[in-house]
Amino acid sequence: MVQRDVAGQSQLSERESLLRETAQEGSGYHACRSTSEEDGGNEVLEPVPEVDEERSLGRGETESLKEGAHMNVVKIISVMLLGIFVAQTDGSILMATHTIIASEFNALKDSSWLIISFSLAGAATQTLYGKLSDIYGRKRMVIIAYTMFMVGCAIVGVGQSMWQVVLGRIVSGAGASGMSALVSVFITDLLPLREVAQWRAYVNLVATLGRSMGGPLGGWLADVVGWRWSFLGQVPPITLAIILCSAYLPNHASTLDETDVSATQQLKMSKFSRIDFKGAFLFATLVLTLLLPIELGGVNIPWTHPLIFVLLGASAVLLALFIAVEKRQAEPILPLEIFHSKDAILSFLILGFQTAAQLGMMFAVPLYFQVTSTPRPSATVAGAHLVPAVVGNAVGGMISGSVIKRSGRYKSLVIWAVTCSSIGYLLLMLRWHGNTNWLESLYIFPGGFGMGVANSALFISLQVVIDPAHMAPAVSFMYLMQTVWATIGLPAANAIMQTVLRRNLGIRLFELGYDSTEVAEIISNAVSDVDFIDGAIEKVRNAVVQSYIDGLWWSHGFSFSCSVTALVLAVFLKQRRLDGHKSKP
């Protein structure tokens, strides 16, 4: 259906525009004139093959048309993969270098802000990209996101103080959130529903490759030419990505006469007035007040600090205000209709619990091998034990996409995925008690595999039930949920492990005959530095190691509980026919 702009000209919605331009380049779909009273005789885009009514296309011509459409979609999505790769590489580069960066500015105690600032900026801006891309166009917002990320990397690379580097991470985080979400939005615009999961699996594969390479690359650059080049080196590939996106991403032309200055100005004013500034501000503030206490609690300030309760209380108030404001908005930044569907809510929750479980495991695994292995491995070697989970994630996404494309079934995949993850976490609880051999170290594969399968299948379950007009904000919100639950999962797993570690180590030390002062000192040293194990006497070392194992057992229990909860929720998902859903070229 077309919409009327302020100048009285017919203005295509962003999704229709993308589809039309793709059709003109060989998608096999075209606009046609509706004569029904419901459509009012307006021009609509329907999935009708462009076949001359005078003659039918031969098989060779039809295949050529389909091949042209496929190649056009490949070209459009492929040019965005470079940005995905660089953005994911950036995250793991920072994990490897944040202590080196902070140490240069004598601010090691503040190194966590390099990570916190990036994630908070991304979470606060995540949902904005979806709605703004509906108003101003996908291509324009992609280029804006890439540019912000590039500028942020440059600021970090040339920063001369800690606050300048943190500022650069804030700008980069605000750009990276759009780089990730808008690729998926493009995929939903341009592809049939059965193919969406498979193409998102390709994106996930590129992202996984970036995450895998970032850590070693960042460490190597820091050792050879300095950490600054880890970020300045990202500027050229992102610049290339901006050029490629400008050249190849579809961007419809305005239907207005460019010489009509008045009409053009009216159109710009109309778009600007569609932006829900109040909702955007309230939602960004809501996300920040919710995530800040989770990021700060137990690390920068105690969980019992009054600021924690003030922020959590403020987030509850802001949530109520946000809902009240959005109900009155003609075009809300986050349409509340998204949450009218039970399956949409279930999809968000299942993905959230799976993300929290996965992040809890990713935190625990390197620490487990650092503590239990003899001789003790370096942090790099211990981190390499995460490779089976990373590989499982990529393989699971590819398999899930292929199965959905062939069968159209996604609910059974979700149930299978969370069951597989639950079994993996249960095996960690049953078998990881020290002296773990290489075969049993592969028990983390099911967790990563299940996450990869669930990620693709849940994206489809969301698409099936969401109004296409709200798809971009819904996709952005799904990405936001992953960020929020990752932020919850990591500190929750750490808090559980630390609590059990302190309690059990205290009990063991008292049994060994140490007094309360000595116990407090040993516990403080043991929880702050795993290298303490090397210098401790044998009976203390054994007590520390066993207490770590106890704490990590409960950390795995947290992941298992999250995954089982996701399994219970998955049972209530409804399988819908993908063939009955509106197809996309």
pLDDT at 179: 85
Q: Residues 6 or more apart from 220 whose CB is under 8 A from it?
A: none
- Residue range 155-183: average pLDDT? 89
- Residue range 508-531: average pLDDT? 85
Greater confidence (80 vs 376) lies with 80
Average predicted confidence (pLDDT) for the chain: 79
Q: Residues 6 or more apart from 524 whose CB is under 8 A from it?
A: none
d(CA 304, CA 211): 35
d(CA 299, CA 492): 12
pLDDT of 150 > 90? The answer is yes
d(CA 94, CA 207): 15
Cis peptide upstream of residue 473 (ω within 30 degrees of 0): no
DSSP state, residue 301:
B
pLDDT at 527: 81
pLDDT at 7: 40
Q: How many other CB atoms are found less than 10 A from the CB of residue 257?
A: 11
On whether the CB atoms of residues 486 and 396 are closer than 8 A, the answer is no
Q: Which of 125, 91, 179 is nearest to 362 (CA)?
A: 91
pLDDT at 1: 39
For the chain, the helix, strand and coil percentages under 3-state DSSP, each to the nearest 5: 75, 0, 20
pLDDT of 470 > 50? The answer is yes
On whether the CB atoms of residues 465 and 344 are closer than 8 A, the answer is yes
Greater confidence (198 vs 262) lies with 198
d(CA 129, CA 174): 10
User: Based on the number of CB atoms within 10 Å of its own CB, is 446 exposed (0-12), middle (13-18) or buried (19 or more)?
Assistant: buried
Greater confidence (274 vs 573) lies with 573
Q: What percent of the chain has pLDDT over 90?
A: 22
pLDDT band at 21; cut points 50, 70, 90: low
pLDDT at 316: 92
d(CA 375, CA 19): 59
Per the document, the length of the chain is: 585
On whether the CB atoms of residues 486 and 505 are closer than 8 A, the answer is no
Of all helices (H) and strands (E), which one includes residue 44?
A: strand 43-46
Out of 136-145, 146-155, 265-274, 483-492, pick the least confident. Answer: 265-274
- Residue range 550-557: average pLDDT? 93
Buried b (16+ CB within 10 A) or exposed e, 141-174: bbbbbbebbbbbbbbbbebeebeebbbbbbbbbb
The pTM (predicted TM-score) of the whole model is: 0.76
pLDDT of 135 > 90? The answer is no
Of all helices (H) and strands (E), which one includes residue 231?
A: helix 228-232
pLDDT band at 346; cut points 50, 70, 90: very high
pLDDT at 577: 79
d(CA 278, CA 331): 11
Token digits of residue 248: 């190849």
d(CA 3, CA 460): 28
On whether the CB atoms of residues 131 and 303 are closer than 8 A, the answer is no
d(CA 172, CA 151): 7
Sign of CA pseudo-dihedral 262, 267, 268, 270: positive
pLDDT at 293: 84
pLDDT band at 69; cut points 50, 70, 90: low
Out of 71-75, 342-346, 454-458, pick the least confident. Answer: 71-75
**SS3 state of residue 2:** coil
Q: Which of 24, 39, 37, 16 is nearest to 468 (CA)?
A: 16
pLDDT at 70: 60
DSSP state, residue 3:
E
Greater confidence (475 vs 252) lies with 475
Question: What one-character-per-residue DSSP string does 99-158 give?
Answer: HHHHHHTT-GGGTHHHHHHHHHHHHHHHHHHHHHHHHH-HHHHHHHHHHHHHHHHHHHHH
On whether the CB atoms of residues 415 and 461 are closer than 8 A, the answer is no
**Location of structure tokens 């939005």:** 185
- Residue range 489-504: average pLDDT? 86
pLDDT of 212 > 80? The answer is no
Out of 134-148, 188-202, 299-313, 535-549, pick the least confident. Answer: 188-202
Q: Which of 536, 487, 491 is nearest to 514 (CA)?
A: 536
Residue ranges and CATH numbers for the domains of the chain are: 3-51 (no CATH), 341-489+556-577 (1.20.1250.20), 498-555 (no CATH)
d(CA 1, CA 332): 20
Token digits of residue 294: 């989770």
On whether the CB atoms of residues 67 and 75 are closer than 8 A, the answer is no
Tell me the β-bridge partners of 33.
Answer: 43
d(CA 576, CA 487): 32
pLDDT of 171 > 90? The answer is yes
pLDDT band at 61; cut points 50, 70, 90: very low
On whether the CB atoms of residues 116 and 230 are closer than 8 A, the answer is no
Greater confidence (253 vs 17) lies with 17
pLDDT at 547: 93
**Location of structure tokens 């989970």:** 389
pLDDT at 108: 66
d(CA 238, CA 89): 12
Q: Which of 423, 338, 413 is nearest to 578 (CA)?
A: 413
Long-range contacts, 102-105 (Cβ 8 Å, 24+): 102/162, 104/227, 105/161, 105/162, 105/165
Token digits of residue 72: 């056009």
Greater confidence (514 vs 20) lies with 514
d(CA 133, CA 243): 19
